[in-house]
Amino acid sequence: MKRKLTIVLIVLFILILLVGALLLAGADGLRPAEEAPEPTPELVIISAPEPTPEPTPVPTPVPEYPARQLELTLDYDDWRAANHLFDDDYGSDYTFDAGEKLTLTADGEIRALYIIFGSYPDDWTLRVGEREIPCGRDGFLHEYIPLDEGADSVVIELPEDRDVLIRDVYAFSEGYPPPFVQTWKNLDEPADVLIFSTHYDDELLFMGGIIPYYAGVRGLKVQVVYMTSNYLTNFSNYRFRPHEALNGLWTCYLHYYPLTHEVPDYECDGYWAAVSTYGQDEFAAFQTEMIRRFKPLVVVTQAEDGEYGHGAHILTALSVERAVEAAADPDEFPESAARWGTWDTPKTYLHKYGDPNEITILNYERRAPELGGRTPFEVAQEAYRQHLTQQKWVGFYVYNFGHPQDSHRYGLYRSLVGPDEDKNDLMEHVTREMFPAG
C-alpha cells in the first residue's frame, strides 16, 4: 500500500516539473500569434462647412392696434363752430368764410384727420408745423388725411375763392382708423364693373348685392356713377343724400369714390318728361365719357321701363344702350374720345332685360367670410339703411325674389363674347387678359 502511494506522489511531482518547464519556455521563446491588423478605413472626404447665413431681418410690422380718437379744440371766434364740428352729426354744419385758417389742438399727437365737408372745398391746405400738405384735390366730401409725422396742433387753411361748409372733424392717434372712417381712393385703372345709377340709392334698390358681391367678396374693381346730383337740387334732403350715398357704398365694401354727373335731380313723369328736362344727349355724352375713361369689362344699369316708370330711370337705361355703342366710335362725342380714347365694352347688362328664360340670376344669398359671415343681400339691405332720409318711403327697399323689381335678375343687352351659358355671373366669359385696356 505504501509502495503504491509512493509511486503516485512521484508521478505527480514529475507532472508538476513538466508544467513549470513549459511555462518558462513560453515566457522566453514562444510568441503569441500576431493579432490581425485593423482594417484600413475608407477614405471619406469631408468638405468644409458652409458658413452660417446671417439671419434675415424681420421688418417692423405696421401697428395692428386701433387708433384712439383724440379730443379737439378749435381756436375760432364763434363758439358755435366747434359745437357743430365736434358733435359727430353730419346733419349739423358750419359755413366758414373763404380764406379762413382753423387751428385745431388735440389732447395727444395727431397722426390722422378725417373731415366731412358739407360743400366741395376743392384745393385746401393742411399745415403741420412748417410743412404744408395739399388736400382736397380728389374732391372727396369725406376726406381722410394720414400724417407721416404727428403734431398736437394743425391748421386748416381754406381756399381763398369760396366759403366752405364743414360738418364734422375727427383726429386720431397712431394706429388703424375705426370702421366709420372712410378712406376713399380714386379708381385710376380700368374697372371690372361699371354701374350707372340714376339717383343715390338706385344702385341698392334695383341692383342689390352686385357691389358687396363683386367688390367685397370677389375683390373686383367696381365703379359707381350717379347720373344726377342732389347737391344741385332744392329738395329738403339735398344736403344729406350725398353723405348717405357714401355711407351706403362704404357699407358695401366699396373703396373707390363714386362719380356724379353734375346735373340736378328733377321729378320726371315718364320718358319724354325726362328728355324735355335733360335733353337726349346729356346723359349719353357723360356715360360715353365714363365708359371710355374706365374701360370696363361689364356695364350694368337700370331697367328700360324705369323700374316703376320713372322717366329719369328710363333715360339712364336707354342712354346706356346708346353710350356702349358710341364709346367705341371716335366720331361720337369726339371730345371724350380725344381725351380717353375709345372702348368697346365686352358685356352690357340691364336690370330685368329681355327674355325671362334667358335671364341671368345672381346669387346674393351665400354667406361670405369677406362680409363678416353675412350674405351680399344682407349687406345691401344694411347699406340701404344708411339712406336715412329714404326710410320714410315704405315701398322702397332692396327688392328680393318674387318682387317685380327683383334685384337678382339681369338681361344681357350686348355682348362681344356671345350669350351667357351658366347665367349666374356677370363676369362669365370675360377677363382683363382677353380685353386689355391700352
Give the three-class secondary structure for 316.
helix
pLDDT tens sequence across 347-406: 999 999 999 989 999 999 999 999 999 999 999 999 999 999 999 887 899 999 999 999
Residue type at 112 in one-letter notation: A
Q: Which positions ≥6 away from 131 have C-beta within 8 Å?
A: 149
Backbone angles phi, psi at 261, to 5 degrees: -70, 125
Nearest to 294 by CA among 339, 350, 333: 339
Q: Has residue 163 got a pLDDT over 70? A: yes
Q: Has residue 301 got a pLDDT over 70? A: yes
Taking residues 134-140, report their average pLDDT. 94
Q: What is the DSSP string of 61-73?
A: PPP-SBPPBPPEE
Taking residues 170-192, report their average pLDDT. 96
Nearest to 307 by CA among 351, 254, 261: 351
pLDDT above 70 as % of the chain: 85
For residues 422 and 370, give the distance between their C-alpha atoms in angstroms, rounded to a whole number: 24
CA atoms within 13 A on the CB side of 167: 18
Taking residues 251-278, report their average pLDDT. 95
CA atoms within 13 A on the CB side of 27: 6
Can you tell me which residue has the cell 379708381? Answer: 187
pLDDT at 320: 98
Q: Has residue 277 got a pLDDT over 80? A: yes
Taking residues 252-261, report their average pLDDT. 97
pLDDT at 12: 55
For residues 173 and 190, give the distance between their C-alpha atoms in angstroms, rounded to a whole number: 35
Which of the four pLDDT bands, split at 50, 70 and 90, describes residue 119? Answer: confident
Q: Has residue 53 got a pLDDT over 50? A: no
pLDDT at 230: 81
- 18-32, 64-78, 182-196, 206-220: which range is least confident on average? 18-32
In this structure, what C-alpha cell is assigned to residue 145?
388725411
For residues 427 and 214, give the distance between their C-alpha atoms in angstroms, rounded to a whole number: 9
For residues 301 and 203, give the distance between their C-alpha atoms in angstroms, rounded to a whole number: 8
Q: Has residue 215 got a pLDDT over 80? A: yes
Q: H helices within 261-406, ranges in order?
A: 271-278, 282-294, 306-309, 311-326, 334-340, 376-384
Nearest to 169 by CA among 55, 279, 87: 87
Within its chain, how far is the Cα of 262 from the centroid?
26
pLDDT at 303: 97
5 vs 339, which has greater pLDDT? Answer: 339
Q: Has residue 7 got a pLDDT over 90? A: no
pLDDT at 237: 67
- 131-140, 208-217, 393-402, 411-420: which range is least confident on average? 393-402
Q: How many CB atoms lie within 10 A of CB 146?
A: 14
Q: Are 327 and 292 in contact (CB under 8 A)?
A: yes
Q: What is the DSSP string of 414-430?
A: EESS---SS-S-TTTT-
Nearest to 281 by CA among 332, 231, 232, 341: 332
Nearest to 283 by CA among 265, 296, 256: 265
For residues 367 and 361, give the distance between their C-alpha atoms in angstroms, rounded to a whole number: 17
Full set of structural domains in the chain with CATH: 72-172 (2.60.120.260), 193-415 (3.40.50.10320)
For residues 192 and 200, give the distance between their C-alpha atoms in angstroms, rounded to a whole number: 21
Taking residues 323-333, report their average pLDDT. 98
Taking residues 97-107, report their average pLDDT. 96
CA atoms within 13 A on the CB side of 317: 26
For residues 79 and 95, give the distance between their C-alpha atoms in angstroms, rounded to a whole number: 13
- If you average pLDDT over every residue of the chain, what do you get? 88
pLDDT at 66: 93
Within its chain, how far is the Cα of 103 from the centroid?
33
In this structure, what C-alpha cell is assigned to residue 226?
350717379
For residues 226 and 207, give the distance between their C-alpha atoms in angstroms, rounded to a whole number: 13
For residues 87 and 176, give the distance between their C-alpha atoms in angstroms, rounded to a whole number: 22
For residues 156 and 268, give the distance between their C-alpha atoms in angstroms, rounded to a whole number: 41
Nearest to 156 by CA among 182, 184, 135: 135
pLDDT at 238: 75
For residues 225 and 257, give the distance between their C-alpha atoms in angstroms, rounded to a whole number: 9
Q: How far is CA 94 from CA 97, 253, 402, in A?
A: 10, 30, 46
Q: Which positions ≥6 away from 305 have C-beta within 8 Å?
A: 314, 352
pLDDT at 11: 52
Q: Has residue 325 got a pLDDT over 70? A: yes
pLDDT tens sequence across 26-44: 444 433 344 444 444 443 3
Q: Has residue 20 got a pLDDT over 90? A: no
